[in-house]
């Protein structure tokens, strides 16, 4: 099914494009499917979004919505049997606003793609313990990334690793550099993970649930660090999370996903104060709030997230949607309506929105 792009392609705009108008990374119509014996799971099914330089794009959604698979698809590190079936991932070349390379066209394990992973686009995972090797010191693991992407000596790389650890707020970096991941607390591990991601001065940082495994006070430390680093280095960040609170505090732009679809997209303030899609509206109502009166019930969304094999026909949200139109929402997939260049919603309720 053809997918309406969520934003007018900036290339169509007249005149010289500024950095604000040209997305640094543009994902269009991305499809990542998992072909299993039981059937095909459309984990990501035609998702489009843009990341602009120096901004934070929040991708939110509940489990199974495809937010993590979208991120992994960008770096082409989707585990088998997952396969990218279609779409474009356009990365703007450094110092060249006219030509973008499509990461999906690069050879799968070729040197071009390897030069981008870690160097141009770095990734921070949710589980810092699972993403480190247990057998090497954290210093060695940071140095590995540096030595892989630049021609420096071991000593210089080690000095750089210590500098990076200091920058992310690891106390006594000269001593800590020789420690193993298991000797560190969860918060420290996430800081080291961040140091490792920043080792090659990437332009884009993808953070996949970076604080989900952490306690609130540690989460506050790590989010603060992320904000500071972004400001200092002008990093562009894709922040993937299920926590609406984290999105509200961190993101400039937001994509809301449900069952492999981007259902709504827009600036953070509008997503929270003028949500358009019934799913976004319901999701926001159902969040427990620290401001609530004690012992108050929450608004709920009927039913539960469908099993990936039992994906509903038509709009994936229609069985749970209070505004579903019989004979339409359960039959046809809603197109994506661009309300503005930076605002889009995928719902029949907005068919004729100007």
Encode 146-182: b = buried (16+ Cβ within 10 Å), e = exposed: bbebeeeeeeebbebbbebbbbbbbeebeebbebbbe
Closest CA to 55 of 199, 239, 223, 191: 239
The residues facing 27 across adjacent strands are 49, 89
Cα 305 from Cα 308, distance rounded (Å): 9
| Span from 67-75, 131-139, 304-312, 339-347 in contact with other proteins (CB under 8 A) | 304-312
CB-based burial label for 235 (10 Å; 0-12, 13-18, 19+): buried
330 binds other proteins (CB under 8 A): no
The token duo for 219 is 């989460």
**Phi, then psi, of 332 in degrees rounded to 5:** -105, 145
Residue closer to other proteins by CB (options 136, 272) is: 272
Name which position in 21, 115, 292, 331 contacts other proteins (CB under 8 A): 292
Task: Write the DSSP assignment of 7-72 as a string of letters.
Answer: S--GGGSSSPPPTTTS-SEEEEEEEEEEEETTEEEEEEEEEEEEE-TT-EEEEE--TTSSHHHHHH
Residues 144-183 as x/- pattern, contact with other proteins by CB under 8 A: ----------------------------------------
Residue 1 has a CB neighbour count (10 Å cut-off) of 7
354 near other proteins, judged by CB under 8 A: no
Nearer to other proteins, 10 or 306 (CB): 306
Q: How far is the CB of 259 from other proteins (least distance, A)?
A: 12
Q: 12, 80, 108, 295: which one contacts other proteins (CB under 8 A)? A: 295
Site for other proteins in 17-76 (CB under 8 A): 62-63
Stretch that binds other proteins, among 12-20, 197-205, 300-308, 323-331 (CB under 8 A): 300-308
Taking CB under 8 A as the criterion, the residue among 124, 193, 283, 347 binding other proteins is 283
Does 297 sit near other proteins (CB under 8 A)? Answer: yes
Q: Do 150 and 135 touch, CB atoms closer than 8 A? A: no
Adjacent-strand bridge partners of 254? 58, 266
Helix (H, G, I), strand (E, B) or coil at 281: helix
Is 229 an interacting residue with respect to other proteins (CB under 8 A)? Answer: no
Q: Interface with other proteins includes 201 (CB under 8 A)?
A: no
> How many other CB atoms are there within 10 angstroms of residue 306's CB atom?
15
Out of 21, 287, 331, 353, which residue is the one contacting other proteins (CB under 8 A)? 287
Rule CB under 8 A: is residue 1 a binding residue for other proteins? Answer: no
d(CA 94, CA 19): 11
Min separation Cβ 345 and other proteins, Å: 18
For other proteins, which is the closer residue by CB, 311 or 332? 311
Which of 113, 305, 328, 339 forms a contact with other proteins (CB under 8 A)? 305
Q: Specify the residue, 127 or 243, whose C-beta has the smaller distance to other proteins.
A: 243
Positions touching other proteins (CB under 8 A) are 62-63, 185, 187-188, 215-221, 223-224, 242-249, 251, 268-269, 272-273, 282-284, 286-292, 294-301, 304-305, 307
């Amino acid at each position: 099914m053809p997918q309406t792009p969520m934003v007018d392609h900036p290339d169509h705009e007249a005149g010289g494009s500024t950095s604000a108008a040209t997305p640094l990374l543009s994902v269009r119509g991305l499809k990542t499917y998992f072909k299993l014996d039981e059937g095909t799971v459309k984990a990501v099914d035609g998702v489009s979004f843009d990341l602009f330089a120096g901004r934070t794009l929040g991708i939110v959604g509940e489990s199974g919505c495809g937010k993590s698979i979208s991120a992994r698809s960008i770096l082409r590190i989707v585990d088998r049997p997952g396969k990218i079936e279609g779409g474009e991932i356009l990365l703007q070349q450094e110092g060249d606003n006219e030509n973008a390379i499509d990461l999906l066209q690069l050879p799968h394990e070729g040197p071009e793609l390897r030069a981008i992973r870690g160097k141009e686009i770095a990734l921070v995972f949710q589980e810092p313990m699972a993403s480190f090797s247990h057998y090497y010191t954290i210093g060695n693991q940071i140095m590995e990334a540096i030595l892989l992407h630049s021609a420096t000596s071991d000593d210089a790389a080690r000095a750089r690793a210590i500098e990076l650890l200091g920058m992310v707020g690891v106390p006594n970096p000269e001593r800590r550099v020789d420690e193993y991941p298991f000797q560190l607390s969860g918060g420290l591990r996430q800081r080291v993970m961040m140091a490792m991601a920043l080792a090659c001065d990437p332009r884009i940082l993808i953070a996949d649930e970076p604080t989900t495994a952490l306690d609130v006070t540690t989460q506050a430390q790590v989010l603060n660090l992320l904000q500071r680093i972004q400001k200092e280095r002008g990093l562009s960040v894709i922040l993937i999370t299920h926590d609406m609170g984290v999105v509200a505090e961190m993101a400039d732009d937001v994509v809301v996903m449900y069952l492999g679809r981007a259902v709504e997209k827009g600036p953070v303030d509008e997503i929270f104060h003028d949500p358009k899609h019934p799913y976004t509206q319901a999701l926001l109502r159902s969040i427990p709030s620290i401001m609530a009166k004690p012992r108050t019930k929450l608004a709920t969304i009927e039913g539960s997230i469908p099993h990936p094999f039992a994906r509903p026909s038509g709009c994936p949200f229609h069985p749970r949607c209070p505004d579903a139109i019989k004979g339409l929402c359960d039959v046809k997939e809603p197109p994506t309506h661009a309300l503005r260049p930076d605002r889009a919603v995928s719902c029949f309720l907005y068919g004729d929105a100007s």
